[in-house]
Chains A and B, each alone.
Chain A
Amino acid sequence: MNIKSIFDYRLLGLTGSILLIISQFFSWFSGYSLMERYIIATSVDISNAFLYLFPLISGSICLIATLLIYFKLEYRINSVIINFVGFGFFLIFIFELIPQEIDYITSAGIGFYMSIAGAILIFFHNLNILLTREKSKEGS
């Protein structure tokens, strides 16, 4: 098994999850970070406030999934399934947020772009796990 390939896909997943987590603390729309919006939303209407934490939850779950294969390399399918769950939170968040904020999307802050980049990295991380395994088995 190629050490370099292992390093690569771990790095993709780690970077993606960390980007998703830290995007929570950078500005998204109207100059507010999601954490600030969560705090504002809880003081006004708690019902949808929790939604603003979804990128943080998503990033944390994906980070756990990436760390799982960091410690137990053979648990790659488990890692992909956990990533499915983590990614699900992000998809729901995007699905709820984007239609609401579509008019401001051109002036979106760095947090928005960080989260999108993180999500794309996690997606490729999953593909890479599955494809790398395939290559390594064929090569053996």
Chain B
Amino acid sequence: MESNFYYALGHDLRRRIIKIIGDNEFSSFTALKKELKVSTGTIYHHLDALSQLIEQGKDKKYYLTELGQHAYDSLQDNIENIISDFSKKEFNSPILKSLMFLTPKKIINYEKGYKIYTVIFSIGLLILGLIFCNLNALFPILLFFTNLFQSLQTANLSLQIFFNVFFIINFLLYYFINEIICRLVYKKNENSIKFLLSFSLIFYPTIIYLAIHYLFKELDLLDYSVISILDNILMIIFQVWALWLLTYNLIVNKHLKVENALIISLLIHYGGFSIILALSI
């Protein structure tokens, strides 16, 4: 029974079938076909594989069985159910355990009633990011920060306003790059709004870094070599934490495999670095 359960959840399309039926309490074959955009044969093949998790009622519609409901609840709950058995072993490692501990799972993968808290938290983070970027006179490019445009900030009022709100522009830019890659490369069109609402959460570690950096700057501690090195190391650690939050967000909201989510994080992150390096030259 258990092996069937994991086998059934071991395929993205089967997980999506469970989710569609679970979200709507039932689903017709036509609705499934419209939502999944795959051939009739493929759907029948996966419905067969899900025989213990779903059942067809007298009205010909598909419903979740008790085991199917359990699978649906598990899929809603956490990341561990949308990654393979192979990855589960790896998720018990100290590094990933610590990263998962530091991940605000309930805010990123929020349920219906908690949407408002995610929105409030996200707006709060954006405002904090904006404030700390301006206090540090830093200009954000994806997850990097530079002071290259410090001289331009005094140029004229419109340019000044543009630089002051660039944290929010950067947030939207980063979101759209991720969304476009998910749609074009991985054909993942779902949960765009949920992804957007929880997207600012990935900046949460970098905002902590900006706050610490501001503290160092205000206390003139950055002149000390130890503090300067510590500041650099903190930036690296907080960036890696932010990249993990992006990866987690892509996994739970875009239903990407952990490897694919990491590829997106990696490519965009180093792309951002290339831009900042080119600008500095």
Which residues of A come within 8 Å of B, CB atoms?
A: 46-51, 74-78, 80-82, 84-85, 88-89, 91-92, 94-95, 98-99, 102, 123, 126-127, 130-131, 133-134, 137
Contacts and interface: CB of A to CB of B under 8 A. Distances in A.
Given A98-B281, A130-B259, A134-B257, A81 B99 contact: yes
A99 B225 contact: no
Interface string B262-274: 1100100110010
14 contacts: A47-B223, A48-B228, A49-B225, A50-B225, A74-B86, A74-B89, A75-B93, A78-B95, A78-B96, A84-B240, A85-B240, A88-B236, A89-B236, A134-B259
Across the A-B interface, give the 9 residue pairs with the lowest CB-CB distance, nearest first.
A88-B236, A47-B225, A130-B259, A99-B280, A84-B240, A78-B95, A50-B229, A130-B263, A46-B225
A84 B260 contact: no
B237 interface: yes
Contacts of A77: 87, 90, 96, 258-259, 262
A83 B90 CA distance: 16
Interface in B64-116: 84, 86-87, 89-90, 93, 95-96, 99
Interface size class of B (residues with CB under 8 A): 35 or more
Given A133-B259, A134-B260, A98 B277 contact: yes
User: Secondary structure at chain B's binding surface: helix, strand, loop or mixed?
Assistant: helix
